[in-house]
Amino acid sequence: MKIGILGTRGIPNQYGGFEQFAQYLSLYLVNKGHEVWVYNSHRHEYKEATYEGVKLIHCFDPESKIGTIGQFIYDFNCIRDARSRDFDILLQLGYTSSSVWAKLLPAKQIIVSNMDGLEWKRSKFNKHVQSFLKKAESWAVRSSDYLVADSKGIQSYLKEKYKVVSSYIPYGAELFENPDSSILKTFGLVEGDYDMLIARLEPENSIEMILEGRRSSKTKRKLIIIGNDQRAFGVYLKNKFEGVIGIHFLGGIYDQNILNNLRYYSNLYFHGHQVGGTNPSLLEAMGSGALIAAHRNEFNRAILKENGFYFQNPKDIADLMDFAVKSDNLIRINSNTQAIKEEFTWEKINSSYETLFLNALKNK
């Protein structure tokens, strides 16, 4: 098969969940003998034409200069390029800015769309943007030949809202089995003496709530925040909590070995995502042996079940920071690693996508 993947900033991953997924999936498919092309922003630091056998298409992306509207232009450039190629499958990751161009999608290619989360629920968007995103969601549903839901909650929503069948395929994660405590020295950290979170610094990821909880807690442990803090909301958070002792912003870190070690040696790992399906960072935390405290919602509970703690407000967070100890919760941690082994292996997830693609091509 000849497969195109669009909807990310590109690979190798330097940004987030979809980029990480695109990297794992594309490498898997290439190793299975398929021809895979991934669309990359021209601003991506990796400028080569291929990445470990995956062919890269660098498209003009003006987001850094003109803001959000640049995402629409970038997706337009990717879709316009795809029209000139003979892909068997065109996989769209998300729909926020690409579904505007739905009528331009190549008619002869099979369009498979991963519907991501309920984008219109994100608190960072005003009512007008949320209204637009609801329309964009419907455009993506109508213009796709096949839909993928990364959580059963999203799958149920698509069936109830649009009366359509989707394939449930979550994200995957790897077990972390080679901890190295020397990495902590780089960040001035001590094993078990810090809590942490990894996320895009956006309102719907509960970061401000978690920081408020840390400010009112009695703990002496550090709280480290990993994520690009150069955008507007990150700058706001840094300014607001600048004087709080123990809060440390580390910026964006994309080395998985470093991230896994930081998770493994932390006391509490906070997962504040309120909107979306199966979030990759939650699975990675489970596979890293972290003790997880997650925002209480149906998406997080569907994955974490009873094998973690849940919070809804700063008081919940402060209480957890004051009383939750990792060494007292090894049963929860072991149950999570077992779930990664049985349900969320990359081999299983990638194989499911390949099977979907092959069946779609067979049924064309």
Judgement on whether residues 192 and 164 belong to the same structural domain of the protein: no
In this prediction, the residues of the chain whose per-residue pLDDT falls under 70 are 117-125
0.85 exceeded by pTM: no
Tell me whether residue 58 is in a domain: yes
| pLDDT in the model for residue 151 | 86
Question: Of 207, 263, 257, 213, which is closest to residue 235 (Cα–Cα)?
Answer: 207
Tell me whether residue 249 is in a domain: yes
Judgement on whether residues 324 and 358 belong to the same structural domain of the protein: no
Question: Distance between CA atoms of 258 and 261, rounded to whole angstroms?
Answer: 5
| Concatenated DSSP letters of 86-137 | --SEEEEE--TTTGGGGGGS-TTSEEEEE--S-GGG-TTS-HHHHHHHHHHH
Residue 132's identity, in one-letter code, is: F
| pLDDT in the model for residue 119 | 66
Judgement on whether residues 156 and 224 belong to the same structural domain of the protein: no
What is the 3-state secondary structure of 275-338?
CCCCCHHHHHHHHCCCCEEEECCHHHHHHHCCCCEEECCHHHHHHHHHHCCHHHCHHHHHHHHH
CA distances from 334 to 192, 261, 278, 295 (A): 17, 17, 20, 20
| pLDDT in the model for residue 131 | 85
Tell me whether residue 177 is in a domain: no
At which residue do the structure tokens 């700058």 appear? 235
**For residue 67, what is the DSSP state?**
T
Question: Of 68, 45, 66, 71, which is closest to residue 56 (Cα–Cα)?
Answer: 45
Give 172's Cβ-side CA count (13 Å radius).
19
Strands 54-59 and 50-51: antiparallel
Check: CB of residue 149 under 8 Å from CB of residue 158: yes
b vs e for 255-264, b when ≥16 Cβ sit within 10 Å of the residue's Cβ?
A: eeebbbbbbb
Judgement on whether residues 68 and 87 belong to the same structural domain of the protein: yes
Instruction: Tokens for 218, please give them.
Output: 């009695």
Judgement on whether residues 315 and 352 belong to the same structural domain of the protein: no
| pLDDT in the model for residue 34 | 98
Judgement on whether residues 102 and 200 belong to the same structural domain of the protein: no
| pLDDT in the model for residue 257 | 95
Judgement on whether residues 323 and 349 belong to the same structural domain of the protein: no
Tell me whether residue 323 is in a domain: yes
Judgement on whether residues 316 and 209 belong to the same structural domain of the protein: yes
Domain holding 358, by residue range, is 2-171+345-362
Cβ neighbour number for residue 267 with a 10 Å cutoff: 21
At 33, which helix (H) or strand (E)?
A: none
Tell me whether residue 178 is in a domain: no
CATH number (domain holding residue 100): 3.40.50.2000
Tell me whether residue 109 is in a domain: yes
Count how many domains the chain has: 2
Judgement on whether residues 288 and 356 belong to the same structural domain of the protein: no
Query: N- to C-terminal Cα distance for the chain?
Result: 13
Judgement on whether residues 202 and 57 belong to the same structural domain of the protein: no
Judgement on whether residues 127 and 197 belong to the same structural domain of the protein: no
Tell me whether residue 242 is in a domain: yes
Judgement on whether residues 339 and 349 belong to the same structural domain of the protein: no
Residues 6 or more apart whose CB falls under 8 angstroms from that of 315 comprise: 213, 216
Tell me whether residue 176 is in a domain: no
In this structure, the dihedral spanned by the alpha carbons of residues 326, 330, 333 and 338, taken in order and rounded to 10 degrees, is 170
Question: Distance between CA atoms of 159 and 144, rounded to whole angstroms?
Answer: 15
| pLDDT in the model for residue 278 | 79
